[in-house]
Amino acid sequence: MNPHRRHPFIRVATILVYFFLYAPILVLVLYSFNASRTNILFAGFIPSFGALQMGGSTVVQSPCGPFHWFCELSRNREVGLAARNTLTIAFISTFISTIIGTMAALAIQRYNFRLKSFSQLSLYVPIVIPEIVMGIGILTLFSQLFGILNGAFGLEGDSRLSLGLGTVIVSHIAFSVPFVTLVVQARLQGFDKSFEEAAMDLGANELITFWRVTFPMILPGVLSGALLAFTLSLDDFVITFFTTGPGATTLPIYVYGLLRRIITPQVNALSTVWIAIVLTVVFLLQRLQSREAK
């Protein structure tokens, strides 16, 4: 029996599901080259380079040619700011959640302590409650807390505590940590304790054992935890929506705001850039992985 033999039904279903997954994305990318400004119908590519010329709502000629909307996008300062915020939030929250999540995974997997089962349980809670519950909870917490603090210290004007990058980062850490912990924990489950015992046996104390043996061996797990935290942060809409404030708009929030008002090919261009970056990163990671496997 060939284990790779599959029923024709499975093959057809597979093709259809992949089509379902990719058709919308392909349309999205195609429309980022749309000559029509209203972006309702695909009016073809912008045919030529040169000074901007409009024919009705159709772009006839652009300095960037078919890449007209990408050029427009690059001039959009709001997008630039949102991109910067998004990356700042993702990097900082990933960094912190990876560290404390790895620590927690080590604790739960390796040690016995009184709060162990409570810790494990509390890490499952954010996974099994809807994000919006956590989002409005954190919003309530911050507004109450800031209200009290601003009142107590008589903070006024710019020095008032308010929602912003800080609150978003702190909240992103809260929902990333459980995922980091679970990923690292899964890695530690297959980790034989005798590696650490061997290091200690050979004269390494606990700290050296950790840095020279444990950490390098769980590093792939830590990295995939970090990658997960990073993508969760980049992708997050709900929690950010409730914890963000003026000046801390992220790309998803910005796009959402835009979509409620207008639909322009700039959003498509933004999507295309985003997808291109994701594909590049995935491709590089794949290359790296297959190199490591050898």
Partner 1 sequence: MTQTSEFAVELRDVVKTFKTPEGTLLNAVDHVNMQIKHGEFFSMLGSSGCGKTTSLRMMAGFEWPTEGDVYIEGNAQGHTPPFQRPVNTVFQSYALFQHMTIYQNIAFGLEMERAPADEVKTRVGRLLDMVQLNGMERRYPKQLSGGQQQRVALARALVKMPNVLLLDEPLGALDLKLRKEMQLELKAIQQKVGITFVYVTHDQEEALTMSDRIAVMSKGKVMQVGIPVEIYERPQSRFVADFIGESNFFEGIVQSVEQDRATVLVPSLKAEVTGLNTGQVGVGQKAIISIRPEKIRISEQPALKTNFFNGTVKTTTYIGSDTHVYVDMGGGVTLKVWEQNKISSLDPRAYYVQGQKVCLNLFPENTLILAES
Partner 2 sequence: MLKRLRENKSFQGTLLVSPTLLWMIALLFIPLILTTIISFGTRNADGGVIYGFSFHNYVRLFGFSTDCPGGQASCFDPLYANILGRSLSLAFWTTVIVIALAYPLAYFIARAHPKRRNTFLMLVLVPLWTNFVIRVYAWMMLLREQGVINGIIGWVAARFGVQFEPLQMLYTPGAVLVGMVYEFLPFMILPIFTSLEKIDVPLYEAAADLGANPFRTFLRVTLPLSMPGVVAGTILVFIPVMGTFIVSDLLGGKQVILVGNLIQNQFLSARDPTFGSAASLILMIMTLIVTYFYTRKFGFGEEIIAV
The footprint of partner 1 (CB under 8 A) covers: 192, 194-195, 197-206, 208, 212-213, 216-217
Is residue 198 a contact point for partner 2 (CB under 8 A)? Answer: no
Is residue 206 a contact point for partner 2 (CB under 8 A)? Answer: yes
Indicate the residue among 3 and 154 with the shorter CB distance to partner 2: 3
Is residue 251 a contact point for partner 2 (CB under 8 A)? Answer: yes
Identify which range of 46-54, 74-82, 192-200, 266-274 contacts partner 2 by CB under 8 A. 266-274
Indicate the residue among 49 and 262 with the shorter CB distance to partner 2: 262
The residue length of the chain stands at 294
- CA 196 – CA 290 distance, rounded (Å): 28
- Residue 54 Cβ vs partner 2, minimum distance, rounded to whole Å: 20
**Pair 225, 183: CB distance under 8 Å:** yes
Q: Which of 126, 164, 166, 245 binds partner 2 (CB under 8 A)?
A: 126
Residues 5-44: x/- map of binding to partner 2 (CB under 8 A)? Answer: xxx-xxx-xx--xx-xxxxxx-xx--x-------xxxx--
Q: Binds 221, which of partner 1, partner 2, none (CB < 5 to 8 A, cut-off by type)?
A: none
Is residue 282 a contact point for partner 2 (CB under 8 A)? Answer: yes
Q: Which residues contact 100 (CB under 8 A, 6 or more apart)?
A: 173, 177
DSSP 40-84: SS---B--EESS-EEETTEEEEETTGGGHHHHHHHT-HHHHHHHH
Q: Binds 276, which of partner 2, partner 1, none (CB < 5 to 8 A, cut-off by type)?
A: none
As a dihedral over the C-alpha atoms of residue 278, residue 281, residue 282, residue 288, rounded to 10 degrees, the angle is 180
Residues 129-158: x/- map of binding to partner 2 (CB under 8 A)? Answer: xxxxxx-xxxxxx--x--------------
- Residue 179 Cβ vs partner 1, minimum distance, rounded to whole Å: 25
Is residue 92 a contact point for partner 2 (CB under 8 A)? Answer: no
How many residues at the interface with partner 2, by CB under 8 A? Answer: 98
Is residue 177 a contact point for partner 2 (CB under 8 A)? Answer: yes
Q: Binds 192, which of partner 1, partner 2, none (CB < 5 to 8 A, cut-off by type)?
A: partner 1
Q: Binds 4, which of partner 1, partner 2, none (CB < 5 to 8 A, cut-off by type)?
A: partner 2
User: How far is residue 33 from each of residues 44, 135, 143, 275, measured CA to CA in Å?
Assistant: 8, 36, 43, 15
